[in-house]
Amino acid sequence: MADLKQFNLPDLGEGLTEAELITWHVSPGETVALNQIIAEVETAKAAVEMPSPYAGTVVELHHQPGSTMEVGSPFITIDCGGEGSAAPEPEPAAAPAERESVLVGYGAKTTTSNRRRPRKDTPARPASTPAAPVAPAPAARQVAAPATTAPAVGQAAAVATAGPAAAAPASGPATTAAPGSLAARSSRPAAKPPVRKLAKDLDIDLATVVGTGPQGTITRQDLLSANGNGAPAAAAAPAPVAPVAATAAPAQPAFDPAAREDRIPVRGVRKLTAEAMVASAFTAPHVTEFITVDVTPTMELLAELKTSPTFAGVKLTPLALIAKALLLALRRNPSLNSRWDEANQEIVLPRYVNLGIAAATPRGLMVPNIKDADRLSLIELAKALGELTLTAKDGKTPPADLTGGTITITNVGVFGVDTGTPIINPGEAAILCLGAIRKQPWVHHDELAIRQVTTLSLSFDHRLVDGEQGSRFLADLAAILSDTRNFVAFG
């Protein structure tokens, strides 16, 4: 006997209200075991593997890969056949409009669903709208002969007697159509508004004038020529029209920008990053300071440590030493490791440092952090940085590693960029930007020498950090990197 159980998308943590389905690992009719991985979904925080809450046969998959799902919506239906697991069927989640989404460091934010309502069908065109006025046009085109040459004076007089409605423009075949119909509008002489006004002032019927402008457009000179000799405008037209038509440039297709544009949906990590950066830029008053440093001693120390047996098998980079120097400088300048409590109007000073490292990943910009980084030795810090980078690039960073950061480092030097003005990660007081390390001329011991130089930039929240505090922190950091003896002095 069938025992159908519907599993709704659960709350994946951090108060998030939606997720994107990356891929299914099962298909309808397939047998699944309890806790077997059935799908992979992506939230604004991380990619998450979904285990099966039941054992049984897959009956229905309620979403397609790439679709965005709301928490509480049907996810999968499984026929347990009396062998369902002991896991209770989850209760329907609250409506998304009543849930809260948390941006790191900015408290709760109410979100609502942005799903579009289906558009109502456009009402059918009334049957009374006639298309008949266009019908006579083909018959008229069969009767009228193409005007390849200018009409004779006698013919022009006949045209004037018959009236404009019977006149055939010299540049093309004549048509007849009911007033106001599509055919009548299409046979209207081509002329710009100023030319039309001049024709009205000169009492000239545009239908009797042959245009010499692009695609037969009537110009101001055409009107003046027709008015100057007093003859009917049709007789004053240039003789053969055929050569003009033969040399006319071919019509170009209309420019359609939409056909040459790509659109990328903003969702998941990229969507949260955009929201967080806007919130930070327009909430925290940013100040950015710069310092150019001779880091030759640091690079020499790095080369020495790489040959040390202690660091065998450890990926040691300049970022590891700069991160260590930052942690030492924070001991003298703790205000850089703080956050703003808007609700209580307080500055919070943690007695720990969760060091965030901005990482470019296939899923977008992420800032995982190393918990209690200030308690780690250099070799422990180097190992943690290596693991953090690999996990982020694989898109496997757990949500816990993306929250709780207290200060961040972003490294634009890996792209060959000298410096930048970074935006503070929400919920933090400062962010350090590391530029490219280059060999440059430098005054060393009062002599010009080639040294390894970099530029550091520091952005900080002026509500939390005064200019003096930010400047002292940046100066202390530079002092450590320019003289490796300060690694011990500051420690």
Residues that are catalytic: 462
Q: Tell me if 433 sits within 8 A of 419, measured CB to CB.
A: yes
Tokens representing residue 278 in the block: 């806007």
HEC-encoded secondary structure of 368-435: CEECCHHHCCHHHHHHHHHHHHHHHHCCCCCHHHHCCCCEEEEECHHHCCCCCCCCCCCCCCEEEEEC
Q: Tell me if 283 sits within 8 A of 424, measured CB to CB.
A: no
Q: Tell me if 100 sits within 8 A of 111, measured CB to CB.
A: yes
Nearest one of 207, 212, 167 to 175, comparing CA atoms: 167
Q: Tell me if 364 sits within 8 A of 269, measured CB to CB.
A: yes
CA–CA separation, 217 and 119 (whole Å): 42
Q: Report the alpha-carbon angle 93-278-327, nearest 5.
A: 95
CA–CA separation, 274 and 293 (whole Å): 32
User: How far is CA 176 from each of CA 3, 120, 128, 145, 154, rounded to the nearest angstrom?
Assistant: 73, 39, 22, 13, 22
CB atoms within 10 A of CB 222: 24
Nearest one of 213, 147, 216 to 175, comparing CA atoms: 147
CA–CA separation, 392 and 46 (whole Å): 10
